[in-house]
Each structure stands twice: as C-alpha cells, then as structure tokens.
Chains A and B, each alone.
Chain A
Amino acid sequence: MISIKGLKKSFDQLEVLKGLDLEIDKGKVVVIIGPSGSGKTTFLRCLNVLETPTEGKISIGGQQIDFSAKVSPKLISSFRRLTGMVFQGYNLFPHMTALENVMEGPVTVKKETKVKARQKAAFFLEKVGLSDKVDFYPFQLSGGQQQRVGIARALAMEPEVMLFDEPTSALDPELVGEVLKVMKDLANEGMTMVVVTHEMRFAQEAADEVIFMDGGFIVERGAPDNIFSNPTADRTKQFLRMIQ
C-alpha cells in the first residue's frame, strides 16, 4: 500500500528526515513514537505532501512521486487525496457547521452534488458518533467532538490511508477515550493508518507495528509487544523508560 524509499527532508540547513525507508501493507496500523523533535510530524506531513520532501520516493496505492525531480502542484493535489490527515489541533473550519466541514471536500474538491455530499457527511458523522451534533459550529463542540469531526472530514474524501498526528494530545484526559475508540473502530474495519501518538494503550491494542523514530531516522520497528517489552536499541529503552 505505502512504500517509502530514501525519504529526506531539510529545512534550510537543518536536516530533519535523514533517509527513511518503510513499507506498510494495506489494512495495517502503524504507530510512530519518538522524542520531541525527532521528525514524526514532518514525516506525516511529507506523506500528505504538506511538506515537499527534499529527496526520495513515496508511492501510495500504486501512485508514485519521485521528489528528486520537480513536482507539479497538480500531481501534489491528486497525490494528497490518497491520504487523509487528522491534525493535533483539529483545524476545523470555524465558519462551517460540523456537517458543512465534512461536506466541504466532497463538494468543492470532488464536485459532488450537495445532496449526495450531505448524505455522505451525515454517514461519516454518524460513524464517529456525532449524529446529534451535525448543525453545531466547532466552537460549540468539545475538543473530543471537534477531533471526531476532523476524522469524519478526512474520511469523507475516502482516502487510502489515514494519517493522525498526535490526535489526542491537545485533549483533556477524559476526552481521549472517545477519539481513540473511533480510531480503533477504523482500524478494525481495515483502514490503513499511520498514527503518531504517545498513547501506549492504543499502540498495544490497535497497532500491528510500532516504529521508534529518533534524530530523523527509524531506529527500531516491530510488533508492539516486542518494542514495549524487549526493545533492542538503547535509545528506545531510554525513551520508553522516560514516558512510562
């Protein structure tokens, strides 16, 4: 499903991703952990092409971009539609209701009719458990509800892969569960997911694979049980001791 080869990203002088190689099979859930500044967000943003990698190839569901050459904006936007992004700070559109937030992609980007898009948006909002909030504006929703709208908005574009960047880290602890539940449901339905999170419970229960990133490299990867109970790299051990 996803294949990444030699992915590098620099900001001016600073090299943040130093050559990542990764294959992810369809339907797998991959959790990325790692210390602050290790490049996790940058990696996800490269997959969604919100950042243009400096070098490397990414292919998703048969479409490939080689970033060593110049890439046209058109290719970027069609490539972007293969992935759905869920942001740490939700980034909902504040001037639209929950329903309108979710309809926006289908109507404006996919040019679907309003009627069809509205049905679709209602369907995805129901999926994330927000059928009773369709006409609410973001400021009328709790953080957990806003994040679930964010997930529905991404799902409405019917991406091949869902990307989550610390989706629960801005939430009050009592709201984390409702978002994780939605994510677990998605995982169980066979959605391919790449999730940056420090929620170890989620990693243990839902991930097929855990990747530990540090200093712009993938240091270690493996099944959640292996990574959490028998990490091999010293840096992984250190990091796990710190967060547990």
Chain B
Amino acid sequence: MYLNNILADPERLARLIEIAQNSVVPLLQGAIFYTIPLTLISFVCGLGLAVLTALARISDVKILQIIARIYVSAIRGTPLLVQLFILFYGLPTIGITLDPWPSAIIGFSLNVGAYASEIIRAAILSIPKGQWEAGFSIGMSRRQALRRIIIPQAARVSIPPLSNTFISLVKDTSLASMILLTEMFRRAQEIATTNYEFLLLYTEAALIYWVICFILSIAQGRIENRLDRYVSR
C-alpha cells in the first residue's frame, strides 16, 4: 500500500529520492567517522581485556579468578544499553563526567572483553592436555608453554567465534546513539525527525549496516580458510 501510494504520486517519489540522495553522505560519514572507528577501537581494547581476563580465569591465583568471574558475570548479566546509561548518565552523579566517545569506547570494550574472554578461555581449554605436557617435557615453564604452544593454537580456534563477536559489535554500536554519539543510526534519527521519513531513513541505515557486515563476513571466510591450512584431520 505504501509502495502503491508512492508510485501513484510522482512528487512524493521525487522527494523521497532526493531525501535518500541527500542523506547518504551524512549517514556514510557517520559510519566512517563513528561506527567503524568505534567498532575497531572497542574491539582491540576489548580483545586485550579479554585475553587478560581469560588468563586470570585459568590462573591458579584465586583472587584473580574471582575478580574475572565477577566481571564477566556482571557484564553478561546486564543489558548493554543499561551499562552505557550508567557510564554516561549515571557517573556524573558521583562527579565523573565522560563525553560520549569515551563512554562508548569504555562501554563497548568492557562488553567485548567479557564475551570474548569466555571464547578465549574455552579455546585455551580445548587444546589437548598433551600439548601442555609436550611443552613441559622439553623443559618449558607454564608461561612459555602458554605463549609458544597453547595461545597460537587457541587463537586459531577462537577466530570464528571472535569474528561473530566483531560483527555483532558493528550492529551494537547503534546503541551509542542513545548516549548522544552522532554515529550512523543517530544521524538517521536526526534526519528523520526533520522530514518524518522514518521508514526510508531507518531502512537506509539498515542497508549500510548490512553492507558492512556482509563485507566482514566475506573477510571472515577468507581468514578461516587461511588458518585451516595447518589444521590436521
């Protein structure tokens, strides 16, 4: 019906095309200057945090284990949107005021850190005990075996699930619109409130997310193929 109405009304159609054309550039700018850098920075920081957390979980220092468990549990047990609100709208109450960018980076990094740490921990635990022992038997310490034998193999195992985390993160960054970061989705909202073409602008934003994720999933397939080179069985 919506389509019929539009097609029956050349003026409306022309207006929509014009809006679409005019909004593509700001939306792409939102993607290029906000969505993509936010995703990349948060993923890199999150991954670092995830490795530390995974190592803490498998270490034999009880207190590190406990801290890591609480962190993972708290992040996984609360909505990302609520975490972002606490950082951006909540913390000023106790005198900590963060701009949208740092709030978003901290929020998303903490999130990736928790989820990815579980992936990395599972990957480390999936490496057969015999690999540790082979390392020990040639005189390696636990740390050396971890660094030279276990982590390289665990990295390969964890790449497919980590790629999924990365792709989810691209989409999750749209939540940063709620803490006033003018990333792509927020721009779509802002433009839509001036011309009331919500369906058009949100669909346009959705298409851009889709294109980004589609490209990433192709890259993911390539990386996995490369890594399969050394895998037995």
A residues adjacent to B (C-beta < 8 A): 48, 50, 73, 77-78, 80-81, 84-85, 87, 89, 91-95, 104-105, 108-110, 137-139, 153-154, 156-157
Contacts and interface: CB of A to CB of B under 8 A. Distances in A.
Contact of B138 (A94, A105, A138): A105
The 7 A-B pairs with the shortest beta carbon distances in the complex, nearest first, are: A139-B232, A105-B138, A91-B134, A85-B137, A109-B139, A91-B130, A81-B139
Given A87-B133, A89-B130, A137 B138 contact: no
A105 B139 contact: yes
12 contacts: A73-B142, A77-B139, A84-B138, A85-B133, A87-B133, A91-B128, A95-B230, A104-B148, A108-B148, A137-B232, A157-B138, A157-B139
Nearest to B142: A73
Contacts of B133: 50, 85, 87, 91
Given A80-B139, A93-B131, A110-B139, 16 more contacts: A50-B133, A85-B133, A87-B133, A91-B131, A91-B133, A91-B134, A95-B152, A95-B153, A104-B148, A137-B230, A137-B232, A138-B232, A139-B232, A156-B138, A157-B138, A157-B139
Given A104-B148, A139-B232, A84 B137 contact: yes
A77 B141 contact: yes
B230 A108 contact: no
Contact of B137 (A50, A89, A94, A108): A50
B156 interface: yes
Contacts of A85: 133, 137
B153 A94 contact: yes
Contacts of B19: none
Contacts of A137: 230, 232
Contacts of A108: 140, 144, 148
A100 to B, nearest CB: 10
A91 B134 CA distance: 6
B149 interface: yes
A139 B133 CA distance: 19
B193 to A, nearest CB: 53
Interface residues of B, number: 22
Secondary structure of the B side of the interface?
A: helix
B226 interface: no
Interface of B: 128, 130-131, 133-134, 136-142, 144, 148-149, 152-153, 156, 230-233
A31 B54 CA distance: 43
Nearest to A141: B232
A93 B137 contact: no
Nearest to B233: A139
B156 A154 contact: no
B137 A48 contact: yes
A78 B141 CA distance: 10
Contacts of A154: 137-138
B59 to A, nearest CB: 14
A139 B140 contact: no
Contact of B231 (A91, A139, A156): A139
A48 B153 CA distance: 24
Nearest to A45: B133
B156 to A, nearest CB: 7
B151 to A, nearest CB: 10
Contacts of A87: 130, 133-134, 137
Nearest to B227: A95
A48 B138 CA distance: 10
Contacts of A109: 138-140, 144
Nearest to B147: A108
Contacts of A80: 136-137, 139
A36 B231 CA distance: 32
A85 B148 CA distance: 19
Contacts of A110: 139
A81 B141 CA distance: 11
Contacts of B144: 108-109
A212 B137 CA distance: 25
B231 to A, nearest CB: 7
Nearest to A93: B149
A50 B136 CA distance: 8
A154 B135 CA distance: 10
Contacts of B230: 94-95, 137, 139
Contacts of B141: 73, 77
